[in-house]
Each structure stands twice: as structure tokens, then as C-alpha cells.
Amino acid sequence: MSAAPDSSLVRGLIPYLSGLIALIALGWAAELPYRLGFVLYSEQALSAILALSLALVFLGVSVRRHKGVVPWHDWLAAALGLGAGLYTAIRYPILAEEFFFRPVETTILGAILILLVVEALRRTSGWSLLGVLLMFFAYALFGHLVPGRLAGRSLEVLGMFSFLGIDNVAMLGLPLRIISTIVLIFIFLGQLLLRSGGSAFFSDLASALMGRSRGGAAKIGVCASALFGSISGSAVANVASTGVITIPLMRQSGYKRHVSAAIEAVASTGGQILPPIMGAAAFLMAELLGVAYGDVVLAAILPALLYYFAVFIAADLEAARQGIGHVEEAAIPRLGKVLKEGWYFPIPFAVLIISLFGWNLTPETAGLYAAVCITFLGLFLSYRGTRLRPGDILESLKATGQSSVQIVVIGAVAGIIIGIVEVTGLSFGLTFVLVQLGENSLLLLLFLTAGICIILGMGMPTTAIYFLLATLAAPPLIQLGVEPMAAHMFVLYFGLMSMITPPVALAAFTAANLAGADPMRTSVAALRFGWPGLVVPFLFVFGPSLLLYGTFFQVSLAAVTAMGGIWMTSAGIAGYLVHPLTAVTRTALTAGGLALMVPAEAFPGAWMVKVFGAVLCVFLVARLMGRKVTALS
């Protein structure tokens, strides 16, 4: 009989707690405390957001629940998390100034918060990331026992809780700050766009532009996933939102189940590397590198375009090989009608870009301006009968809080890991070992780093992947002379490739579930379509021209040859160009395409490899075209 009251109470609490998370983030981005005359530490806002997130986890994600009843221990954990977090938020000015004089208070608070964060991580992200965190805890306690250069300074248990739980270079540090003050704003922006009809507009725009071309359904999926994925903040969320439309459309056009799912997974994953938002990675990268946000966006443009060019070409070649035509005319909206009804959706993006580049505002303030813009437009304009209502704004606040809980917990965990790495000296030891390895072969170190990134990235969202890898994997590359931007882009790309790489390919598995396809077969197919994500990072490490570093001629040459190489290699992998290819031609075309992509500055004589690739590709294409002309005549 107690099930109904208990579940009703939880259902009533969760929306309010979720909305408070979003309101705190929005208020901080708007500098509301300062405007009202209050001087607050940013850690106070972070503690409050963490407190609410912990309460939501233990009320909403239970290990053992019967008929909606929340067990007493989950209620206790939720109350402890809320109480400890809010207490820290209120007391933080005193704790920060008198940290060394209040060891008992800081230890108790740190222990409660860290233990609850560890359990919240297990419930929201599973065992993979928890296992990584526990290994770092073990190193913090027993690092002095590790032999060789990886030996570290061990921490005393109570002191570890005090430092990691309260210090602003640990749990309440940079990762949680960026997530709470920047990422949440863009999640809110995405929710407003979703409720005002933005996702439908992007899908219709992609359909109107691509629906009449060969393999139009897949190209619609690629474009829609790119447009929505750049703001969604999650490859899996992008698959779940756009895949419900694009995967059935691809299936109806003739694409196989696993191929439809693979194309959607690859296109959705690419949204995390596509400016201007890049799943919030752009903001994180700017902070960690100490550069302007615009520098990150400019560096990311060309590699992202090459990635999507490759996916687009692969989808087109697959359609040609399978004889798949365009989408049914009745299902394609008129471009003029789409633009007439949804002309206002690009305006918030224009406001965002102008705020960032023209007015030099902070990302959170720019995101807030864009959110205000879409709110104002959405309240008075509608797309396909969908208009933003005042109630939708409240729902967006609630949805923002609920969807951000996992990433807030992961931000706290990332801060803990960074704190351990810094205080134990692991970062220096690991950098030293990897640099020694890379002194003999940078290429070997890159392959090793790529493997580490894919393994550590399994099952983790974009922000967590990047934070972890930027801390552990990027410094050795920079130490060996790799351009810092290229090093950070390299680890981001390979961390994201874990989304489509077996055995834990979350984006591919989510898409496979929507398509009713075999998950592993889908993941293998996703690698076939998304292979440039594994190659392009090597290109911009050895040839930073792809990051727009260099003269106009150098950048243009790198871009054109990379596009040509991707096209030829994709044709070799697909086994089709102007007609089906023999095994020998496929191999030769793949080799020629890869040679054409080699950066001219990669090593002495690299330009000769590039010229060889170009000559081989031109010869093969001319031969294939000649055979086609002969066959037609």
C-alpha cells in the first residue's frame, strides 16, 4: 500500500530538483549573484549542483526497487548527498580559508561526498568507468609501491578524502566547473531547440537538400545527425533522437539493417567533433590549452568536414553498389516551404557565433544569449504547428537537470582523477615513460596512445573521455614536439572512436537496437564507414596544415589531397567507383588513396609518396572511366 505514496513523492521531487540544477547554472551564467550584490565562490554553485545531482541519482536510479518504492538506504543516500553538498556550498568560504585548521570537518565532508559520487558513478555509468576510478584510488594509496619511473607519492586515507573532496583542483575543480557553467547551458539550448521544432527543421532541411540524390535516405541521416549532433553533447543521445527517424527511412530505401544503423552511429559520433559546440569539447579544450575558443573552432573545422565528407561518400558508394535510389518524392518536403517556415532557427546559432567571435563573450554567456534568442523566437513563431509554450520552457529546465545528472557525476569523477594524477606525480611519471618510448618512434607512440584512448574511452561520454585523455595521453605527445592543438585533437578523436569500435561501441549498439540489427555486425560496419576517424588524426599530427596552421597554399594542398585520398580509399573499401571493382583494383585504389593523404611535411621525401598516390589514383580512375565509356558504347 505504500508504493503509491512513495512513488508519487519521488515523481514530485525529481522535477523540482532537476529544475533547480538548471536554474543554478543559468543564474551563474547570467552572473545573477553579482548583479544582486552577492560575492560567491564558484565552488559554492558547483557544490549545490553536485548536491542536487546526487539526490537525483539515488532517488531515480535504484539498485533494488519494488513497484516504484525507493528503499530506505537510497533515501538516506539522497539525503546525505543533498545535505553534505549544500553544507559545503554554504560553508565553502570558511573551509577554503581555514582548510588546514579544520581537518575533521573537511575529511568527513570529503568522505561522504566521494563515497556517494563513487556509487552514483556506478549507477549512472556502469562498471567500466568505475573500474578506472578505483585503479586511480589504488594508485593514490599504494603508488609508492609501484616499481620504476611510475612510482608515485602515496596519500594518507583521511587526507585523501579531505583534499579530493574539498580542494578546487580536485572534485570541485575545472571539469565540474566547465560542465556546470558551460555544458548545462548548451544542454538547455538543445532542449529549447527540440521543443520549438528545431530537430524537425534540421531533418526536413536535410531531406529537402539530399532526398532526391542517390542514396538520399542515408545522406539525410548524415546531414541531420551532423546538424543536431553538434549541439546534443552526446553521440548516444544523438543516435536516440535522430535515429528514430533516419534509420527507418534508410531501411525503407533499401539499406540493410546493420548498414542503416552503422551510418547513423558514425554520423552521430561525428557531431562531437563538429564546430561550433563539438559536444562541449571545444570549450574544454580552450580552457585546458589556454587559448581562445575561436582558435579551437578554426582548428577543428577541416578535420570535421573531412570526416563527414568520408561518411557522405561512403553512403553514396554503398547506395550505388546496392542500387539504392532517392527517397520517394512524396516523403521529400519542398525546400522553399522548409526555409519559409523555419527561417528563424539559424538565428540562435548566428547569435552564438557573433557573441563568441564578435563580442568576445564567455561561452556560457554566449550560450545564454542563444537560449534567450530561441526562446523569444519560439514563443511567437512556429514550425509545422510546433510552437514553444511557457510550459515548454519549464519542461526544458527539468529535462536539462535530469539529462545532466550523469555528466555532473562524471565531471566530479574527472576532477578526482585529475587531483590524484597531480598530487601523486603520476602525470610526470607517465609522461616520462611514454616520452622515452616515443623518442625512438613517434609513430609507435601515436599508435600506443590511440589504443589507450579507445580503451579508456569505452562506455564514457564525450566530456569524460576528453578530460581523462587530455590529462593522461596528450602531455607525452606535446613533450615530443607535437603541436598542442594537434595532440589534444588526436586524443579527442580516438576517444570518440570508442563509440563505434568493438567491443564496447555505445553509439553503434544504440543504433543497432533501433534498427533491430546485430550489435557487433553494426559496429564492424561502422568502422568501415568511419575509418577516416582513425586516419585523419595521424594526418594532422604529422601535417598541422589540416588544422589551418600554415600558408593558404599548404592548407589548400592538404585539404584537396586529403579529400581525394579519402574518396579513393572509400571506393577501394566499398569495392565500387563507377562500377564494381576487382580485388586487385580495390587494393591498388586503397593504397593510392592512403598515399595521396600522406602530409607533404610528414617526413623527408613524403611529397614523393604523395605524388605516387596521385598518379596511381588518376591512372586507375581514367582506366575505370574508359571501361565504362566502352561498355556504354
Alpha-carbon span 107 to 312, nearest angstrom = 54
Whether 2 has a pLDDT exceeding 70, the answer reads no
Give the structural domain span for 583. 550-633
Minimum mean pLDDT among 22-26, 165-169, 196-200, 262-266: which range? 196-200
Within a domain: 618: yes
Looking at residues 588-615, what average pLDDT do you find? Answer: 90
The confidence score (pLDDT) of residue 68 equals 60
Within a domain: 558: yes
Alpha-carbon span 271 to 233, nearest angstrom = 8
Looking at residues 61-88, what average pLDDT do you find? Answer: 80
How far are the Cα atoms of 224, 232, 294 from residue 227, in angstroms, in the given order? 5, 9, 19
Beta carbons of 566 and 587 less than 8 angstroms apart: no
Nearest of 585, 594, 586 to residue 612 by alpha carbon: 594
Q: Which of the two residues, 437 and 267, has the higher pLDDT score?
A: 267
Q: What's the mean pLDDT when you consider all of the chain?
A: 84
Within a domain: 570: yes
- CA angle, residues 330, 320, 333, in degrees to nearest 5: 20
pLDDT, tens digit, for every residue of 8-31?
A: 777 778 888 999 999 999 998 888
Within a domain: 629: yes
Looking at residues 349-373, what average pLDDT do you find? Answer: 84
Within a domain: 109: no
The confidence score (pLDDT) of residue 3 equals 44
The confidence score (pLDDT) of residue 167 equals 85
Alpha-carbon span 403 to 255, nearest angstrom = 32
Predicted model pTM: 0.77
Residue 609: pLDDT band by 50, 70, 90 thresholds? Answer: very high
Beta carbons of 573 and 587 less than 8 angstroms apart: no
Within a domain: 564: yes
Share of the chain above pLDDT 70, in %: 93
The confidence score (pLDDT) of residue 593 equals 93
Question: 3-29 and 42-60 helices cross at what angle (nearest 10)?
Answer: 160
Within a domain: 61: no
Q: How many C-beta atoms lie closer than 10 Å to residue 108's C-beta?
A: 17
Looking at residues 384-392, what average pLDDT do you find? Answer: 86
Per the structure, the count of domains in the chain is: 1
Within a domain: 607: yes
Query: Concatenated DSSP letters for 70-109?
Result: PPHHHHHHHHHHHHHHHHHHHHHHHHHHTGGG-HHHHHHH
